């Protein structure tokens, strides 16, 4: 059976927004296996200066990432789309093992296979040290980590 991950390209504004929110929800779960299933088996990533290949590579990367980035909360926002590509901007907040807080800002370019799985992800990310009082992503984390629908997005928060 062929894997599929709707919505599939070509994207409309509505389906691109659905794809972005589905990705945000998956990443907020902090479940490396769940997130990795959204990518093609031979997917290729550039995350900052790290190059990652395939689902196993994605899963290993995310396992390391969320081992370091505690209390992770992410918001993604659609920037642009066309055909089988989506551009996203995002921010996430996290703390390190010493308790220092950070907000990481970035942009992602996504390219999808016909079945709706992501084949390529290119991410550029910068980290900013913030104080605990500067945090903006304070929703209560349920079992799935999902940002509530009525919680402000990046533009609403002035980011």
Is residue 28 a part of any domain in this protein?
A: yes
Is residue 40 a part of any domain in this protein?
A: yes
Residue whose tokens read 């062929």: 2
Is residue 150 a part of any domain in this protein?
A: no
Cα 54–chain centre separation: 17
Residue 128: pLDDT band with limits 50, 70, 90: very high
Number of domains in the chain: 1
Is residue 144 a part of any domain in this protein?
A: no
Mean pLDDT for the chain overall = 97
Is residue 159 a part of any domain in this protein?
A: no
Look at residues 159, 158, 82, 84 and name the one whose alpha carbon lies nearest to residue 117.
84
Q: Which domain holds residue 60?
A: 13-134
CA separation (Å) from 128 to 22, 57, 75, 87, 90?
Answer: 26, 26, 16, 22, 13
Identify the CATH number of the domain in which residue 109 sits: 3.10.450.50
Is residue 4 a part of any domain in this protein?
A: no
pLDDT at 1 over 70: no
pLDDT at 48 over 60: yes
Its pTM stands at 0.96
Calculate mean pLDDT across residues 127-153: 96
pLDDT in tens, 60-84: 999 999 999 999 999 999 999 999 9
Complete DSSP assignment for 88-154: EEEEEEEE-TT--EEEEEEEEEEEE-TTS-EEEEEEEEEEEEE-GGG--------TT-PPPTTS--T
pLDDT of residue 110: 98
Q: What is the enclosing helix (H) or strand (E) of 34? A: helix 32-36
Cα distance between residue 6 and residue 89, in whole Å: 21
Is residue 86 within 8 Å of residue 16, measured between CB atoms?
Answer: yes
Is residue 80 a part of any domain in this protein?
A: yes
Is residue 5 a part of any domain in this protein?
A: no
pLDDT of residue 51: 98
Cα distance between residue 78 and residue 97, in whole Å: 31
């Amino acid at each position: 059976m062929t894997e599929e991950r709707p919505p599939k390209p070509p994207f409309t504004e509505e389906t691109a927004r659905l794809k972005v929110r589905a990705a945000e929800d998956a990443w907020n779960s902090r479940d490396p296996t769940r997130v990795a299933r959204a990518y093609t088996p031979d997917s290729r990533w550039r995350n900052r200066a790290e190059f990652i290949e395939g689902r196993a590579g994605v899963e290993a990367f995310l396992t390391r990432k969320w081992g370091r980035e505690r209390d992770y909360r992410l918001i993604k926002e659609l920037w642009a789309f066309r055909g089988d590509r989506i551009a996203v901007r995002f921010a996430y907040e996290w703390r390190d093992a010493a308790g220092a807080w950070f907000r990481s800002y970035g942009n992602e370019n996504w390219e999808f296979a016909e079945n709706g799985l992501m084949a390529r992800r290119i991410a550029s990310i910068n980290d900013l040290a913030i104080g605990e009082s500067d945090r903006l992503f304070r929703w209560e984390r349920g079992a799935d980590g999902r940002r509530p629908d009525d919680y402000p997005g990046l533009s609403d928060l002035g980011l």
